[in-house]
Amino acid sequence: MPLLRRALGLAGSAGATEAGGVVTVQPFAMPPGRVVPLTFRAIRLILDRDAALRAMSGAEVTGPAAWPSGAMLPSSVVRALETALRGPSLVGGDAYRVTLIPDDAAALVGWCREVAQASSPRDGAVLRVAADFIEAVL
């Protein structure tokens, strides 16, 4: 066993280095965030609209259904939404935990409200409810 411990760099007692010092571990600090449960439909709609905006960012869109200019989500919000979809759903199976820091939450609320104005009545309602819920939780 001592030979195996030495080969693995674990000479001496567990947690000790070759020189006899103790190995310390720095905790990983996550940014302070809040968990917001959002429905699958809301998350999917937000991600789809953001992808459409990114695809159309170079094209000129006119008319009453034109998307707001510059209304793309920060990449950290997109990552949080995608991560939530990969995780387990909450009880009932239709809501997912989205962890947002305050700045990202504020950006998502503003984005949802802005894009809701240029969306269909049904999609606009989903986006407005999501924005209201995020504000209420945070």
Instruction: Give dist(CA 89, CA 40) in Å, integer.
Output: 9
**Rounded to 5°, angle at Cα 68 from 65 and 72:** 125
3: DSSP letter = H
Residue found under tokens 């006899």? 20
Confidence of residue 24 (pLDDT cuts 50, 70, 90): low
Q: Which of 12-21, 70-79, 90-99 has the highest mean pLDDT?
A: 70-79
Mean pLDDT of 70-78: 86
79-112 pLDDT, tens digit per residue, is 999 999 998 877 667 789 999 999 999 999 999 9
Q: What is the pLDDT of residue 8?
A: 47
Residue 15, judged by CB atoms within 10 A of its CB (0-12, 13-18, 19+), counts as exposed
pTM score above 0.85:
no
Q: What is the H or E stretch that residue 14 is in? A: none
